[in-house]
Each structure stands twice: as C-alpha cells, then as structure tokens.
Amino acid sequence: MLLVLRLVLVPLLIAAVTLASRRWGHRVGAFVTALPAVAGPTLLFYAIQQDALFAADAARGSLLGLVGVAAFCLAYARASIRFHWAVCLLLGWLSFAIVTLAMYRVHVGPIVAFVIAVAALFGTRTLLPAQTPVISASTTPRWDLPLRMLSAAAIVFTLTSAAERLGSSVSGILTPFPVATAILAGFTHAQRGSSACVEFLRTYTPGLCGFAVFCVMLALTLPHLSIAASFCVALATQLVLQTALFRRI
C-alpha cells in the first residue's frame, strides 16, 4: 500500500512543482515542493496502520532526515559548478548517505531535532555558491515532464524494493531519500546549467523549513490529539509560517 502511495504521489508532486516553476518561477515551485504531499500521507498511513506514537516518532526522525537532504543540496550545488549532472547526483547521494547515517545515531526530542534541521537548512543556504546570471529557459520538449515523472517512479520503486529486501534498518535510512530534490535539481542543471540549479536550491532549502514545521507539530501533537486534529493543526501551522517565510525571503 505504501509503495503504491509513493509511486503515485511522488510523480504527481514532480509534475506539480515543474508546472508551477515554469508558470510562476522557482519561488512558487519551492513553495509547492515544501508541502507535505508525499510525507504527509505516508505519516498518516503510519498513524492509521501502526499507531499515533509510531507516527510521532517517524515525524521526529524525518526532522533529522532533513539534515541529510541539506547535505545533498549543498554537495550538488558545489559540484554543479565543475561536474556533469550525473556526477553531481552521485556526490549528492553520497553526502546524503554519510550525513544520514550519522544523524541516525542522534537521539533527541522533536524540539531539538527541529532546531537542528532548521539550522542545517539555513546554514546550507549561506554556503551555496554565489549567484551568477541564469540562462533563459528555452522551449522544453514534450517528453520532459513524462520523463521526470517516470524517473521519480523508478527511483521510488528501486529504493522501496531494496529496503524491503535488506531489512528495517536500511528501510529507515532510505525513507528520507531526496527523490524529488534529485529529480528537480538534476533536470534544472542539465537543461539550464549550474546557475539555474543553484538559484532553485537557494529558494528550496529554506522552503523545507515549512516541512520541518509540519513534522515537529505532528511529533508534538499526535500523542495528545486525535489523528485528524493533529494533522489539521500541523498543516495549518505550516501553511501560515511557510507563507510568511516566503514573503520574507
């Protein structure tokens, strides 16, 4: 069930972000990406199938997983100045794996995990390469969007299949794997160059703070509220704070 959910939701998220970015720019695309379109239903599935405490702990783990995503963004952006997008993906995924393995040894509460995640995301933004002129977007081929969605589905299927065969520990490590981030950064880099990729990541990384707000609210409220109330509070809080953040940046 969870595999089917991800195979449907991740490609749809990629399509929504791609179309939003083309129509309104990377700022709106990053706003859409930060919405819990994939993680939200996944955590809801955990809460229903397991229990609220299990989902609350998974939300806390997702906060620490954002540190690995931040490492991916920084490594990819730095590497994109010199290397081909395929090499950048490998370096980004390697950075994610190293940092995520380290973070899984960290045992802290949701508030501290939230502070760590936000510090990592804003720290990554300050360490991104300096902005340079961006190449104007050319007409994209018709196969671009279907290829992005197919690539996302292929990565999700591969990771989920590997996790199921290799055990729960690997499954936990692969859960926050930056699928959407990799697709969006890779395609932007390949089509418009390093500058456009860095520009996207400069807006995307602080935008993930909205997702961090969603996770910390779930981790704090699920043990005390009903599942429906907890998810409503978390989503409403994210939307308010994320809108304020994007207006500021």
Q: Provide the residue ranges of all domains of the chain, joining segments of one domain with +.
A: 8-25+67-130+152-248
Q: What is the pLDDT of residue 182?
A: 86
Return the closest-CA partner of residue 210 out of 139, 130, 114.
Answer: 114
Q: What is the pLDDT of residue 163?
A: 52
Q: What is the pLDDT of residue 152?
A: 76
Q: What is the pLDDT of residue 247?
A: 74
The first and second tokens of residue 85, run together, are 């997008």
Q: What is the pLDDT of residue 51?
A: 85
**Helical pair 194-221 and 227-248, crossing angle rounded to 10 deg:** 140
Which residues does the chain have with pLDDT short of 50?
168-172
Q: What is the pLDDT of residue 79?
A: 96
| pLDDT tens per residue across span 97-153 | 899 888 888 889 999 999 999 999 999 999 999 877 665 555 667 777 788 888 877
Q: What is the pLDDT of residue 173?
A: 53
User: What is the pTM assigned to this prediction?
Assistant: 0.83
Contact status, residue 206 vs residue 177, Cβ threshold 8 Å: no
- HEC per residue, the chain: CHHHHHHHHHHHHHHHHHHHHHHHCHHHHHHHHHCCCCHHHHHHHHHHHCCHHHHHHHHHHHHHHHHHHHHHHHHHHHHHCCCCHHHHHHHHHHHHHHHHHHHCCCCCCHHHHHHHHHHHHHHHHHHCCCCCCCCCCCCCCCCHHHHHHHHHHHHHHHHHHHHHHHCHHHHHHHCCCCHHHHHHHHHHHHHHCHHHHHHHHHHHHHHHHHHHHHHHHHHHHCCCCCHHHHHHHHHHHHHHHHHHHHHHC
